[in-house]
Amino acid sequence: MARSPSSGRDAEAETRERRAMIGEIEAEARETARYTGRSAFDARIMAALAEVPRHEFVPAGERDFAYFNEPLPIGHGQTISQPYIVALMTDLLEPQPEHVVLEVGTGCGYQAAVLSRLVRRVYSIEVVAALAASARERLARLGFDNVEVRAGDGAAGWPEHAPYDGIVVTAAAAELPPALVHQLKPGGRMVIPLDSGLWQDLKLVIKDDKGGIDSRTVLPVAFVPLTHPGK
């Protein structure tokens, strides 16, 4: 979709933009099904994406583009993920209403907001303290009250609330962080981009009842790198 900023926003236009975004996600799901094995995403997930006001999670200068199916800059060298990728990662997680989920890489809080409509509790960690603070304020202001955000090292997880039914990592790691594998509940699912140094692959990791893990590559992706505090 070509960019053509409007001079203002109104409810009717925003409704059209949201519907167009959902339509583009659905089309891309069909186009990528040969990689993902999923030609459509769960209806609950699509409803959450339609409900969460993405324009509230982007800088003012990007709001005309908020419902485009593309990533957008949010400052501090970070981005809000493409809506299709948010939908895919959420669908791979297979969230259920009773689940407790850990997110690594809060960013602006958009992925956490989507998850909050699907699970009982979301814990989210962001390495950039300023982003963590603004996401915490934004989520509270918008009423996403089952999300807790803190600043810290995402690769270390959040052991106080483990084990997690699901873990979603929104930055590319060089390898599976051992702490996150440890904090994943048996039977739980982790969705994480891994960086080989040449390219990135989105991986689905499932932990079995004996603590072993099985992983598969879903499709190539491009994420900002997973970083540690002070780096």
Q: DSSP for the chain, please give it.
A: ------S---HHHHHHHHHHHHHHHHHHHHHTHHHHS-SS--HHHHHHHHHS-GGGGS-GGGGGGTTSSS-EEEETTEEEPPHHHHHHHHHHH---TT-EEEEE--TTSHHHHHHHTTSSEEEEEESSHHHHHHHHHHHHHTT-TTEEEEES-GGG--GGG--EEEEEE-SBBSS--HHHHHHEEEEEEEEEEEE-SS-EEEEEEEE-TTS-EEEEEEEEE--PBP--TT-
Active site amino acids? 81
